[in-house]
Amino acid sequence: MNELADLLTDPKPEARVAAAKAIAYTGNPQGVPLLRFKTRIGDRNALYAIALTPNFSRIV
């Protein structure tokens, strides 16, 4: 989870999207605060990736 959290801050949108998807797909409750934070700060790339996952309703 720490590596994925680091990737959420990567300057490349592709890396942030991949990290957001990976965190969301795990369904791990530890990832929820990270993804909620990304949605709150307005990272549209990450938000779009998160919205495509089956666990979206648990995150936001």
Percentage of residues in the chain having pLDDT higher than 70: 75
Lowest-confidence region among 14-18, 20-24, 34-38, 47-51: 47-51
Instruction: Supply the CATH number for residue 6's domain.
Output: 1.25.10
What was the pLDDT predicted at 43? 78
- Cα separation, 26 vs 40, whole angstroms: 20
Q: Structurally, how many domains does the chain consist of? A: 1
How many whole angstroms separate alpha carbon 36 and alpha carbon 53?
A: 14
Give me the chain's average pLDDT, please: 81
> pLDDT tens digits, residue range 16-35?
889 988 988 888 888 888 88
Structural domain boundaries enclosing 11: 2-59
Quote the pLDDT of residue 52: 62
